[in-house]
């Protein structure tokens, strides 16, 4: 996986560089990159020798977990520092910057090394078969005690196999290897998994039940009794086909002469149906007083003649259903299930004609629908033919309880992610859960998938694929691109990571994206999507305000007396355009002063309070518009008065001229009249 590749590429060249790069702060151990331990490495999880910084006695090794794998947090917390007999001891675990990955954070687990060799090597070869008495006393008994101790803690192992069992001289017994560095079942070979889990994609197997550990213990005992892999010449696919056609126990009994005293134990622990499988208490009773629970080997019903599909003959309905369900040719699978040949085989070869009407109804509802609806019909049809099989869809076999783990682990694979989300949005997983014989054990999964189905079908901030991921897998890290170097599993860890990212950034960035919002909403039910108002718009100031509200909410949930100076400084700069919009000089200066103070303190809530003052910016704009209106009104009145004055002056001049003319004419008339009177006298 990605983490392993990063570590390999980032391994320094000289021994001195290797020792220096192996020193990690936050752990009580130094990790030696120049001492890889291949025997302890697992899928995407390399192992290195580790040395205690505090002088603890013993030998240790460290596992550098793949960041895409959701950790088994409950088991990590429950087993840290616990000296459980028969188990590899977990000394410490922590999320620390990993020098070999350029400082990116990694989850590192440190274990005490078992002081002894595994019971079998990687090829499952032993020097000689182990006597049945030794298997019972030295392997089954101590492993049973360890599983019972785990059961009391509410935990299971999920990685029991011969090459993960060690003869530990320190504990004086056989001990189980670690089971915490990868998701359960991710690297467990199919032959050590019950049939329903073996037929499932490894990363979708989900958390194992105790009955699954019982099966793995039984198969491990069989390997030790035989002294090697019971069918080394057959690949995993052929072995699975053999088990589906018959039974897991028959795979052993047909090929090897097993000790008579172990037959009932193997038959009971290797039952394909978990309801018939022995429990831990059954094994304990068998070991103590020889009590043998009633166990009967249930074989699938054999047909009168084989049915061929894609060139492979099948003699049982279970085997045929597996093959049809795994086919990626949806049209071909549909045509086969509706064919006269198949109907005749069901009616006469198996005497299961009663199942045909239900199949006809499934395809009748989707006859003219899209290929996706046709794939649903094929999936539901195979589910009816073999209810105990994993959920199949377009050739992908999953356990709905493990879909969240698979989505988290392979989120960067677009095709795989799209197919899983397609399944989540449909009703197929819910139909599968309802069809299981132990449906009550899936109540929590049913509720989770029902919720994820609705959330995945919605668009917008806090919904869609991102929200479905975090709802389906509560232990998934936040996959925001803003946090590429950080492993964030809790809401309280977001702000410290963003603070470091802001300090290292060359350019300001908006500290919120869809992954962050979906992550917070899935883990904080008191978060309101209304806090993000304006985040979808084009106004950069509105976006910065929404980001500030988001981070202020996180600040309430995160204890830090020193504040977040880098984030406050970055957001303060992004909010500067809003301050520049203020038009009243005194108000603008006051707002700038408060902003600078909040940035200096590094308190996001104080910065938000500055920009939350009851519509301050709207009030400023409103007052400016009112003032502008009054100014224009006053200007209009002034211009009107000036115009009126000029008009009065003009009118006064015109009236004066008329009066002067009248007076002049009148005086002239009087003068003429006087002259005429004088002359007449």
For 227, how many CA atoms within 13 A lie in the half-sphere containing its CB? 9
pTM over 0.75: yes
DSSP, collapsed to helix, strand or coil, labels residue 33 as: strand
Both tokens of residue 42? 């697992």
Cβ neighbours for 92, distance < 8 A, ≥ 6 positions apart = 27, 28, 29, 80, 81, 109, 110
Rounded Cα gap, residues 297 and 254, in angstroms: 14
Residue 610 has a pLDDT of: 80
Alpha-carbon distance values, 1 to 21, 39, 46, 94 (Å): 21, 18, 10, 20
**Cβ atoms 394, 197 nearer than 8 A:** no
Scan for tokens 């198949």, then name that residue: 342
Both tokens of residue 417? 């992610």
**Cβ atoms 547, 502 nearer than 8 A:** no
The phi, psi pair for 90, rounded to 5°, reads -85, 115
DSSP, collapsed to helix, strand or coil, labels residue 473 as: coil
Residue 407 has a pLDDT of: 95
Residue 498 has a pLDDT of: 95
Residue 280 has a pLDDT of: 95
Residue 13 has a pLDDT of: 36
Rounded Cα gap, residues 345 and 315, in angstroms: 10
604-619 pLDDT, tens digit each: 888 888 877 545 565 5
Residue 379 has a pLDDT of: 93
Rounded Cα gap, residues 339 and 109, in angstroms: 55
**Cβ atoms 522, 467 nearer than 8 A:** yes
Report the number of secondary-structure helices (H) and strands (E) in the chain. 29, 11
**Cβ atoms 557, 491 nearer than 8 A:** yes
423-464 pLDDT, tens digit each: 999 989 999 998 887 766 788 899 999 999 999 999 899 999
CA dihedral of 610, 614, 618, 621, whole degrees rounded to 10: -80
**What distance separates the 2 farthest-apart alpha carbons in the chain?**
180
Residue 298 has a pLDDT of: 79
Both tokens of residue 156? 């299971």
Distance of CA 6 to the CA centre of its chain: 21
**Cβ atoms 143, 86 nearer than 8 A:** yes
- Residue numbers of the chain with a pLDDT score lower than 50: 1-21, 614
Residue 452 has a pLDDT of: 92
Residue 602 has a pLDDT of: 82
Helices 141-152 and 210-226 cross at an angle (nearest 10°) of 170
């Amino acid at each position: 996986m990605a983490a392993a590749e990063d570590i390999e590429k980032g391994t320094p060249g000289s021994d001195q560089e290797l020792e220096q790069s192996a020193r990690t702060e936050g752990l009580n151990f130094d990790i030696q990159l120049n001492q890889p331990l291949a025997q302890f490495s697992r899928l995407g999880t390399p192992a290195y020798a580790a040395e205690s910084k505090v002088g603890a006695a013993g030998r240790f090794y460290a596992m550098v977990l793949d960041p895409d794998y959701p950790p088994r947090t409950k088991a990590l917390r429950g087993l840290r520092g616990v000296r459980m007999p028969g188990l590899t001891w977990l000394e410490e675990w922590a999320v620390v910057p990993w020098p070999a990955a350029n400082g990116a954070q990694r989850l590192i687990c440190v274990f005490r090394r078992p002081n002894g060799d595994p019971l079998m090597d990687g090829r499952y070869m032993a020097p000689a078969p182990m006597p049945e008495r030794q298997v019972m006393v030295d392997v089954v008994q101590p492993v049973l005690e360890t599983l019972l101790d785990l059961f009391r803690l509410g935990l299971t192992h999920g990685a029991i196999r011969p090459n993960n069992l060690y003869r530990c001289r320190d504990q004086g017994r056989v001990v189980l290897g670690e089971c915490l560095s990868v998701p359960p079942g991710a690297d467990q070979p199919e032959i050590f998994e019950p049939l329903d889990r073996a037929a499932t994609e490894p990363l979708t197997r989900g958390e194992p039940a105790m009955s699954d550990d019982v099966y793995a213990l039984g198969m491990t005992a069989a390997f030790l009794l035989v002294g090697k892999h019971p069918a080394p010449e057959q690949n995993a696919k052929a072995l699975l086909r053999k088990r589906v056609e018959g039974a897991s126990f028959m795979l052993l009994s047909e090929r090897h002469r097993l000790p008579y005293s172990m037959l009932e134990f193997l038959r009971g622990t290797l039952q394909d149906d978990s309801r018939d499988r022995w429990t831990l208490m059954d094994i304990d009773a068998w070991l103590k007083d020889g009590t043998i629970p009633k166990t009967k080997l249930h074989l699938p019903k054999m047909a009168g003649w084989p049915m061929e599909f894609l060139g492979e003959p099948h003699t049982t309905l279970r085997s045929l259903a597996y093959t049809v369900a795994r086919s990626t040719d949806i049209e071909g699978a549909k045509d086969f299930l509706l064919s006269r040949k198949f109907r005749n085989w069901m009616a006469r070869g198996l005497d299961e004609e009663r199942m045909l009407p239900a199949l006809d109804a499934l395809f009748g509802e989707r006859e003219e629908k899209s290929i996706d609806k046709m794939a649903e019909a094929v999936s539901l049809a195979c589910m009816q033919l073999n209810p105990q099989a994993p959920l199949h869809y377009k050739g992908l076999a999953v356990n709905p309880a493990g879909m969240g783990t698979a989505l988290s682990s392979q989120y960067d694979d677009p095709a795989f992610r799209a197919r899983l989300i397609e399944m989540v949005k449909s009703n197929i997983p819910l139909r599968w859960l309802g069809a299981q014989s132990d449906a009550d054990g899936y109540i929590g999964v049913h509720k989770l998938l029902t919720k994820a189905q609705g959330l995945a079908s919605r668009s917008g901030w806090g919904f869609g694929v991102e929200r479905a991921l975090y709802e389906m897998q509560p232990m998934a890290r936040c996959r925001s691109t803003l946090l590429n170097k950080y492993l964030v599993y809790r809401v309280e860890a977001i702000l410290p990571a963003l603070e470091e990212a802001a300090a290292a950034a060359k350019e300001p960035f908006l500290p919120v994206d869809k992954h962050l919002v979906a992550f917070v909403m899935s883990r904080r039910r008191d978060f309101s999507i209304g806090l993000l108002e304006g985040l979808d718009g084009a106004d950069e100031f509105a976006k910065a305000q929404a980001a500030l509200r988001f981070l202020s909410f996180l600040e309430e949930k995160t204890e830090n007396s020193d504040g977040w100076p880098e984030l406050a400084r970055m957001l303060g700069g992004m909010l500067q355009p809003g301050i520049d919009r203020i038009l009243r000089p005194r108000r603008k200066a006051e707002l700038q002063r408060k902003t600078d103070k909040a940035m200096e303190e590094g308190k996001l809530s104080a910065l938000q309070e500055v920009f939350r003052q009851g519509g301050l910016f709207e009030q400023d704009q409103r007052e400016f518009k009112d003032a502008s209106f009054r100014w224009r009104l006053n200007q209009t009145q002034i211009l009107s008065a000036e115009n009126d004055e000029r008009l009065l002056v003009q009118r006064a001049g015109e009236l004066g001229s008329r009066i002067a003319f009248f007076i002049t004419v009148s005086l002239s008339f009087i003068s003429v009249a006087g002259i005429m009177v004088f002359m007449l006298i």
